[in-house]
Structures are given as C-alpha cells and as structure tokens.
Structure 1
C-alpha cells in the first residue's frame, strides 16, 4: 500500500481533478470496482495468450490522476513461477525514450551551467539542432558527406540520417565508440532526410555523447537522473542484477522454445541506449505518469519540457498511408511514435529482443497510459491488439469488446520453376568474404573438411535433423557470432543468388528441452546475396533486402557491387 501511495503522489503534480474525458474512472466504478480489466477482458486476454503461445504477460493501466491498475497472466519461468506486476522484462526499444530524455537532461545541464565537461571549442551551445560532427569531432562520419556534415541530433534520433539499420555490423565485444567509428564504412540507403529508416545505431551514438560529456557512464547517468528521482528502484541495465532479484522473466521464441538471456554483461554498454532498460510494470507506470505530466514528478521537473515537446511530437513520417480505417498515418519524434486510433492521439513505442515483445503508450489528450509486456518473441501483433482492447474499455470506444486477433495461417511458398543452376560448383562459393564495416564471413559447403567447417556443419545437421522438412536446395553455412545471430544459412535460389538467413542455432536445445532448434526473430532475418563470378572465379557478393524496400543505391546504380546494401569481397 505504501508503494502504491508513493506512486499516486507522483501523479499529483497538478490538482486532483477527474477530467471529463476520463469517464472510465467513474462510469465503471459500479460494475468492476473502478477497474479497467474486467473478468470478460481478462478472459479474452488469456485467450489471446493461448492462441499466440505467450507464456506470460504483465500489464499496467496508468491514469494521470489516480492509482495505476496492474494485472498479470501466466508464468515467468520454466519452473512455473507466476508473472506479477513486479516481474522484470527487457524493455528493448522502449528504452529509446530514456536515451532521448537523458540527452535532454544533459543539454539542460549545459544551458544552466551544471555541466562538468566543456563543449568543443567550435560549440557555444548544445541542443537538438547541434550538428553531430560538432559534438563528436573526429569521431562522427558517415559515408554520405552531406549527411555527415549536416545531420543534427534531432535528425539522427528521428531516423532520417539516410543510414539504415546495419544491425549485423556490430558484435558482442564492441563499445559504443566502436559502433560510431564504424558508420563511415556503412552504405546509406537514402538521401539525408529523404526517408524514415529505423536505426539503432543513432541511439548508441546518443549514449556515447552522454558518456563523453557527463563524466560518467550512460547507464549510471540514467540511473542517477531518471530511475532514482522517479523511484524506479527495480529498473536496471544489468541482466545479472535483474537475475539476482529472482523476478527477471525468462523469454521464449515465437514457437514456444525457451531461450537463454539475450544480452551478456559485456553487451550492456553497447545496447543500453537503443534497447537496454530492464524494468517492471510497476516501475514503468511511473515512467508513463511522468510523460502524462510532461516531465514533472512530485512537482519536480525530471525531464525538461524541451524533451517532451521534441520527443513526443512527430518530426518524420514512419507510415505514410494506413490500410486500417481505425488508424491514422504515423509519425516519429525521438524515441516515440505518434498516431491516431479511433480518433484518439497515441504516443507509443514497441520493443523486441529475443524472447520479449513490449509496448508502452500514453494518450496525452485522454490522460491515460497503457503498458503491455510479453515474454515471447515476435509477439508485437497480439501485444498491440491487447493494448488497443484495453484502450477500448478505458475510453468506452466500442459498444462491444473487440475479439482477440488470431495469427495468420502461414502461406506456403510456391516452388520455384525454371531455377537456373550455379555457374560454378558449390564449393567455389565457399571461403571467406570481407565487407567494409562488417566482420568477415566464412562460408562452408556441405563437403567442407576444415575443423571450422566440420563444427559449423555439425551444428546445422543437428538442428535440421529435427525438422519435418529442411531446404533441399544447395546450401552454404557459416558461424557468425553477432549480437543478434550465431550463424548464417545460405540457400540457393537461382543462378548465383542465395537467400541468406540470419539465424541462431541451439544444437543441444535449451532448458528442459534438449531437442535442437534454431530461431531468427529479431530485425531483418533474411536477405538476398548475389554472387559475382569473373574469369571463372567468385570475386564477392552483394547483400540486398536488409532495408526492406528499394534503396537510393538500387535506383541510381547499375552493377551489383554498387547497388548492394553491403558488398563483400572474397579474400
């Protein structure tokens, strides 16, 4: 009760008044004790979990004026420990708003003389319009010279730098500075400010800026300036610390296989800005309440108003047309998306890492927020659906509850006809390839005899042996330990083109189930590799399809080497 009272007091930065748009606070009081999650809605949510094979779910409904409501379903561990409002989940990309807020706090420090590190001589002020090259002199550089010179803080955190995700370029041993320095070697997909294109790297850049100018680590800055003032005592960036509480949920694949922890302690600094927060429904209700109160908690400004205004209001267009009449087009500010649902303005962000799907949203004009955390990977669709159904009840948007959404039936891929064979023997396509800004890839054919190839082929043989059907086309195999993958599978398509599948293999299973399996659930899990043969030899390959749409390079260049999103030379 004391904990809930402190949360409630945190909401009272303004006089306690029930605004008329929050009719759910009074209208439902006689039928469900003032709660949004009725037994009918709870049963419907449980049905969704069953349909979508979600092990556990934690939800918070956060009114601006009043106490949050918490509900949980299912389990957080393989041993059957129940999910509660205090269960810790990876927030994944929901973390991005923390990164933007921390950067805004640092800007505020400089504006009011609280900084401890001087700005570079070329800078007299530090704000959202500051050029990245000026705040990171000698470190920031993009391949696109114009974007490199003109990109400001707001550009890179609104995903309009022109640089696509390139999420497979960084690895578990990289630092944020390593990732920043690597960007000069990575090909852009679009012209500067031409096209919204999601990019985790820019939030890693922001965390690096904070470390450079705050005289402390990014994670400690967020803990000191955000977690502590809000009383988010359970929130952390450390998987080990979260695990020691006994309240850190395990994660499962979309098909229900238990996964090991996705981040090591070594990865914390690299992933912190883009997706590193670990938190609970209770703690995140305090975060949502802060945004409903425009950065104020207990009459104290925790995040400056400039953060609220610039981050939550759209700067770039992420969805230019909606195919759902209930939804509007969608914009992106900095760390927050914004759209309209049945005429109600929603600010939100989703998150996805192996084994977790999260969504945090608040409705600035309706004074309520909703958080939904699932311990299953690739569950964005049901998580969004649950969030919308809670809003339906909270705001009395429908006369009848909307039904649970069901998974689409997987479509069988048509068998390719008129497949052209490889120009050379499969073995000629094996070997090591190096790409600018990327680590080398060493492909093995099934007949590879080196110790490396024997180990790689053994791992693939183990996981393929448990499948009802494995690819029948010629394949190449590689070990590729990155943050999001352990291996690569190349399946021949036609001619010298292969489908590249970025995957993680578990040849000994995990948890109680020792059956081998593989999973690919994060970011872009598939691309196309087009190999080039010159004078009877393979000289390299170009990767396509990582961005998910036709890039500027593909429109303006002709050769595979120039058109590719990433080019690898054979070495």
Structure 2
C-alpha cells in the first residue's frame, strides 16, 4: 500500500492506493445506479462536514448522464439552489481541454508531439539554451520542465500579462529537465499561443469554442469573468475565514491564468465533455478528435509516485481495482474534480463553490471511483479535513511573531528603488509607522509592517477577501551588505511558499 500526496491542480489531494490494476469490462447504467444510494449518502455527509455552500455532481456511464444533482445554494445567505446547470469555475481541469486542442492539431498534421516549441514560436526562451532548443510540444503539458513548482504563479495575481509571464521564464533556473515532476501553470500559456498560431484562430479560447465546446453542445462553458457573471445561474465562490465559510468576490486578474485554468462550466456541460473523452473523441456520432491523438494525451510522461503519473492535462493513477484518469482544480473560491475509469467507461464530475488548498470535491469523487471498482471503503473526507486542519495549524505557527521582538532600524533606511528579474522594478516608501510596496502592473498596494528586526510582514489591502484567514500574506526579509546597509530583500509569499529576491538599485 502506498500513501500518495499529489498537488496536481491548485489544491492538495491525499489518496491511498494499491498497485495492481485488474482488467474490467464496461459497466451498465443499472450497475452504476445500484451504487448511487451509498455514494449519495457519503457525498451528503462530506458536504455537511466540510460546510460546502454549493456542490454539483454528475456521473456518466453507458454513454449517458445517469446522475446529475445539485446540493446547497449558489451563495451563502441566498435561496437559489444549485442544480446541474449551475456554472462554477473549474480551475485546472481546464488543462485537459488544452491537451485535446493540441491533439486536434496533431490529427490535422499542423503540429507534432515531438516538434520543438521554438520551431513554432521563435520567441520561446528558458534560462538554459539547450533546454530551450530541446523543449518539445509534448513537454508543455507534461509537468517535467525542471523549473521549480508553481514558478512565477504569483505574477497572475499581481496583474502581469501572459506575454510578461512567458518572458519571465528566461530568468528561472532549470534543474532536471524531464527528470522530476514539478507542477506548473505557465507552460499552458505557451501551449495556448501555439494552438492559436498553428490553427490560425484569433486565440486558444476561440479555437476551443469552435472545435470543441460548440460541437459538444457545451453552451454554458466560457473562459472569462464576464462569462460566469452574465449567466444568471452561477455559483459564488467561498473561502474559510476565522473558522467560518463566507462568500468572496471573483479574484481580480484571475482569468489571466488563461488555458491553465480559466474555464467556467456546469455539470451538464462537463458530462458531455466526459462522455466524449470516454468514447475516444466522439459524442453522439460526431467526431471531435481522433482516438489515437486523444489517447496520446493520457500516456504517462513523468512519475509522481510508483502508482501515479502525470500525462498531458491528466493524472493517471492505479487503484486497487483499475485505472483512473483524472484531474482536479482549485481556484480562490471553487474546487473541482473530473475523472473516469477508461475500462469501465464511467466517470464523475464534482464542482464545488469552496476553495482552498485541499479541494473537497476530491473526497467525493474518490469514493465514487472506489465504489465503481469495488475497492475497500475509505473516508477520504475525514482524512483530507484532518490534513487541511493540520496544515492550517502549521502555517499559523510559522507566522507567530518571535519573542522578544527586535525593533527595526529607522524605516527610511529600507526605502528606495529595487529590482527583480521577473517582476521588474519596485519602490519601497515610508508611510507613517510602516512601509508601502506597490507591485505589478496594477501597483497592488502592499502594506509592509515591522515584524522583528529586518523582517517585515506584508498585507493585502484592507477588506481583501482572497487570502481570508491568511493575514499576513507573506514576509519581506531585508538583507544587508558587509557594511550593514540594505542590499535587497526577499519577498516571501505565504501561498505556495514562493519567494522573489530583489536587489537594491544604486541611488
């Protein structure tokens, strides 16, 4: 038995699995319906324990949507119920859509899996010239770039464009290209650019709509903030704060994440997508993508553990009773899981309006996979809730101020102009008893307060709900030269443990 911890999307999934998948035949609708009472009982109890405001679940089998149900309300405090047409952000489950658009172009001979990326986009650059030359189309979605996990992910929230994020890649060190699993979002921006260029479409989103969403009848699926808000049947995102769940607005700049996670969708739409995947690229007699090219997106590219690998926009796992092809997603306020058993030809979609590091939809989906395969029962919801609580406690402990507190030097000593290769220039200024550090194109006004000595805490604007329960949002650690003067600072992000090193510019 292997204990596996994966963070494949934006959240954390803890799964116990056993090697040795068994051969299986497709299941019938009746066989799946027989599992539904036990499944729904578990789903209902998990929703209650996690205090999920709204959840929509869809199950497909025998090329049919055999179960579609909403739980809870679209927004806490409201009365509008969630149903199978309620639209949620689906986060990193978007990544499989990118892989499918690539597969369509492979089918048409417009790109090849082993094409060099620079042959399609001469502006593509990494810090290592050899890796730049050898980076292939298949590498874009394979999570084996050799860059640090979640590299430059903080640039999305700071308002940087896709072009600026891709340009920043040339400043990031590459260690172990194709040797280790390291989850990224940024390479999906390059994949989207490549798809648009190779197809002649104005954008990846336009190509996706024309070649996948419209033919599948996924008419509620969109890729913008306006797309979700203009649908009257959409869920609001929620996040925990001080032990309670509360609604939060959509994160400004979130949709700059692009093809890494920008889709909004519903259970009814996603069930059609899942059926097409299970059917090898077609739905109701309409061919969307060739079966061979589509199956290529599920070929393992890099091991995550002895019994799980990352493919292209999918994780391929071996449970005790067989394979599961799946991915999850977590955005500020939402969580999702999409997965299927390719041998039994059945799968599940779980969309939730509760965000966080441990998407709770995974617990519900994993119980379905176990029931489908006849695996031993496990209470994933309790395990994940305990892990989430432990993580929150550990994080809180790391942000307890030391005693005794060392006073900082005069604040004016820290003021000045700084620069970081990816984020660019930044100016630290004094405002009364604290410092101010605007960052990014949108000049996000970060308040920087004394913590202890040359270490400061940084805080988002008052009332910002997107890091609810995570204040301060990180630390600023000033560094000194041999003569004691300020040489620069490290900006530490509490989310994802990212950090950026700024050097002081000559005055």
Normalised TM-score (structure 1): 0.72
Aligned counterpart in structure 2 of residue 161 of structure 1, from 145, 148, 155? 145
**Unaligned residue ranges in structure 2 (runs of 5+):** 1-22
State the alpha-carbon separation in 2 of the partners of residues 359 and 299 from structure 1: 26
SS state of the match for residue 68, structure 1? strand
- CA drift at 1:236: 1.2
For residue 284 of structure 1, what is the aligned residue in structure 2?
270
Distance of 1:526 and 1:482 partners within structure 2: 20
C-alpha separation between the residues in 2 aligned to 1:195 and 1:179?
Answer: 22
Task: Please give the alpha-carbon distance, in whole angstroms, between the structure 2 residues aligned to 1:330 and 1:527.
Answer: 35
* CA contact 1:187–1:566 (8 Å) conserved in 2: no
* Equivalent pair of 1:170/1:482 in contact (CA under 8 Å): no
Q: Distance in 2 between matches of 1:432 and 1:247?
A: 47
Change over 3 Å in CA distance of 1:105–1:520 after alignment to 2? farther
Where does 1:83-122 land on structure 2 (aligned, <5 Å)? 83-109=82-108, 111=109
Residue from 312, 337, 342 that aligns with 1:359: 337
Q: Equivalent residue of 1:77, what SS?
A: coil
- CA deviation after TM superposition for structure 1 residue 446, in Å: 6.2
Distance in structure 2 (CA, Å) of the matches to 1:82 and 1:435: 47
> 1:81 corresponds to which residue?
80
Relative to structure 1, the CA distance from residue 565 to residue 481 in structure 2 (aligned partners, 3 Å threshold; closer, same or farther) is: closer
2:136 alignment partner, one of 145, 152, 172: 152
Which of the residues 23, 36, 49 maps onto 1:51? 49
Distance 1:355 1:63 in 2: 29
Give the conservation status (yes or no) of the 8 Å contact 1:539–1:570.
Answer: yes
Q: Report deviation, 1:427.
A: 4.1
TM-score normalised by length of structure 2: 0.81
**Correspondence for 2:231:** 245
Tell whether 2:307 aligns with 1:329. yes
1:193 match: 178
Q: Hey, what does 1:535 align to over in structure 2?
A: 483
2:194 to 203, 209, 212: 209
What does 1:91-490 align with in structure 2 at a 5 Å threshold? 91-109=90-108, 111=109, 126-137=111-122, 139-164=123-148, 165-170=151-156, 174-184=160-170, 186-188=171-173, 190-216=175-201, 217-255=203-241, 256-262=245-251, 268=255, 270-318=256-304, 320=305, 329-378=307-356, 380-398=358-376, 404-405=382-383, 406-407=385-386, 408=389, 410-411=392-393, 413=397, 421=406, 424-444=409-429, 447=432, 477-480=436-439, 486=444, 488=446
Q: Is the 8 A contact 2:332 2:466 kept in 1?
A: no
Deviation string, structure 1 residues 356-405 (Cα, Å, up to 9, x no partner): 11111111122111111110111635221111122233333347987754
Report which of the two has the higher share of strand. Answer: 2
Tell me which residue corresponds to 1:570: 504
Q: Distance between the aligned counterparts of 1:379 and 1:436, measured in 2?
A: 28
Partner of residue 66, structure 2: 68
Q: Distance in 1 between matches of 2:403 and 2:240?
A: 34
**Aligned-partner Cα distance in 2 for 1:85–1:257:** 23
Q: What is the root-mean-square deviation of aligned Cα atoms in Å?
A: 3.5
